[in-house]
Amino acid sequence: MKLDRPTRAQHSETIIALIDVVFFLLVFFMLIGRMDATAPFDVDPPFAITGRDMPAGGATLAVSRDGTLALDGTTIARTELDTALARALAQDSDLRLRVNAHRDAELRHVLPLVAIAEAAGIKDMVLVVTPASQP
Amino acid sequence: MASSVKLGRPRRSGPLISLVPMIDVMLILLVFFMVTSTYLNLDMIPAMRQQERAGGSGLASGGTVLIRLAADGVPVTQGRALSHDSLSALLTERLADDPLTQVLVLPSGAATTQALITVMDTATRAGAVRLRVIRLEAQP
C-alpha cells in the first residue's frame, strides 16, 4: 500500500496579504490614537450639548471628585500649581490649559483654578466635557 | 573551429531577510496599540478667551440676567427657583427682546461642575452669546 504524502502548499501570497492587513491596522491605530497623560484618579467629565471639538495639544489639569489636582498625569498640590504653570508657560507661551474636572467636583475646587491660571499668565483655557445628545 | 559560449542565467536567490520576524514585530505593535489605546470622545467649552480679557468687563451695554446656582444645582433668578425648562423659556424671552443680553451665572461653591455646565448649556441653547461665570472672593 502506498500512501501519498500531501504536497506542501506555497504560503508566500497568503503571508503578503496578512502583512498588508496588519500594516493597515497598525497605521490606523497609530493615526487615530492620541497619546495623552491620564490622571492617576477617575475623572468623568460633565455632559454638555453645546461643546465644541477638542483641539489637540496643551496641558491637562485634572480635578478629581474630592478636588485633588493632577497636571499632565502627575498629582500636584494646589499651592504648587502656579509655579508649575509658569514653568510650562516658559516653554510654550501660547499654552492651552484643559481643565478636566469630574462632573461631581464641587465648584469651590474648580473655579479658583481659573484665577490661578490667569495669574500665572494662561491666556487660553477650556473645560473638558463629554458630548451629550439633545434631550 | 567553432566555440560555443554558454551564458548561464544567474540563479535566483531566495529572500535574504525572512519576513517572519517582521510579522511578529508588527503583530506585537498592533496588539500594543489596540490594548493601550483608550478612545474618548471629548468636547470642550472655552473658559477664558484672550479677546474677552482685553475687552474689559462688557457690562456697559445690553440688559443683564443674573442666575444664582444653588448648592443643590437649582438655578435661581430674581428669588425664584426655576426648572431648566423654565430658565430656558425665560432666557429665550429676554434674548428675543435684546439679543445682547448678558447672562451672568453666580454659582455656589458647593454646586457641582455638572450643574454649572447644565446651566451654561441651557443659556447657550437659548441663544445667549454673552455668558459669564462670576465668583465671589473673600477679602481679608
Give me the pLDDT at residue A105, please.
94
Contact yes or no for A52 and B42 at CB 8 A: no
Domain that holds residue A90: 47-131
- Pairing of β A96-101 and β B43-48: unpaired
Nearest CA to B74 among B63, B87, B62?
B87
Nearest CA to A111 among A96, A99, A94, A122?
A99
Give me the pLDDT at residue A101, please.
93
Give me the pLDDT at residue B37, please.
74
How many structural domains comprise chain A?
1
Contact yes or no for B117 and A127 at CB 8 A: yes
Residue range A8-29: mean pLDDT, rounded:
75
Give me the pLDDT at residue B57, please.
47
Residue scoring higher pLDDT (B58 or A110): A110
Contact yes or no for B43 and A130 at CB 8 A: yes
Cα–Cα distance between B22 and A76 in angstroms, integer? 42
Alpha helices in B5-66 (DSSP H): 20-36, 50-54
The CATH number of the domain covering residues in B50-133: 3.30.420.270
Q: What percent of chain A has pLDDT over 70?
A: 87
Residue A98 β-bridge partners? A60, A126
Secondary element (H or E) of residue B68: strand B64-69
By 3-state DSSP, what share of chain B in percent is helix, strand and coil, each rounded to 5? Answer: 35, 20, 45
Q: Please check whether residue A129 is in contact with residue A49, taking contact to mean a CB–CB distance below 8 angstroms.
A: no
Give me the pLDDT at residue B30, please.
84
Domain with residue A88: its CATH number is 3.30.420.270
Q: Please check whether residue B120 is in contact with residue B133, taking contact to mean a CB–CB distance below 8 angstroms.
A: yes
**Assigned domain for A112 exists:** yes
Terminal C-alpha separation, chain A: 78
- State pLDDT tens for residues A26-63: 888 777 776 666 788 889 999 999 888 888 788 999 99
Using CA atoms of B13, B18, B22, B24 in order, give the dihedral in degrees to the nearest 10: 150
Helix axes A107-120, A81-91, angle to 10 degrees: 40
Of A15, A38, A126, the CB nearest to B47: A126
CB-based contact, B120 to chain A, within 8 Å: yes
Least confident of A14-18, A52-56, A121-125, B1-5: B1-5
CB-based contact, B27 to chain A, within 8 Å: yes
Residue range B60-79: mean pLDDT, rounded:
86
Give me the pLDDT at residue B46, please.
84
Q: Please check whether residue A19 is in contact with residue B17, taking contact to mean a CB–CB distance below 8 angstroms.
A: no
**Assigned domain for A93 exists:** yes
- A80 pLDDT more than 80: yes
- B59 pLDDT more than 70: no
**Assigned domain for A16 exists:** no
Cβ-Cβ contacts under 8 Å, B112 against chain A? 46, 103-107
Residue range B21-38: mean pLDDT, rounded:
82
Cβ-Cβ contacts under 8 Å, B137 against chain A? 115
**Assigned domain for A123 exists:** yes
Give me the pLDDT at residue B137, please.
73
ipTM computed for the complex: 0.75
Residue range A1-14: mean pLDDT, rounded:
65
Q: What percent of chain B has pLDDT over 90?
A: 27
> Mean pLDDT: which of A43-47, B12-16, B26-30 is highest?
A43-47
* Average pLDDT taken over every residue of chain B: 81
3-state DSSP call for residue A29? helix
**Assigned domain for A30 exists:** no
Cα–Cα distance between A48 and B44 in angstroms, integer? 9
- State pLDDT tens for residues B40-54: 778 888 887 655 554
**Assigned domain for A25 exists:** no
Q: What percent of chain B has pLDDT over 70?
A: 81
Q: Please check whether residue B128 is in contact with residue B90, taking contact to mean a CB–CB distance below 8 angstroms.
A: no
Q: Please check whether residue B67 is in contact with residue B103, taking contact to mean a CB–CB distance below 8 angstroms.
A: yes
Give me the pLDDT at residue A29, please.
78
Burial of residue B109 (number of CB atoms within 10 Å: 0-12, 13-18, 19+): middle
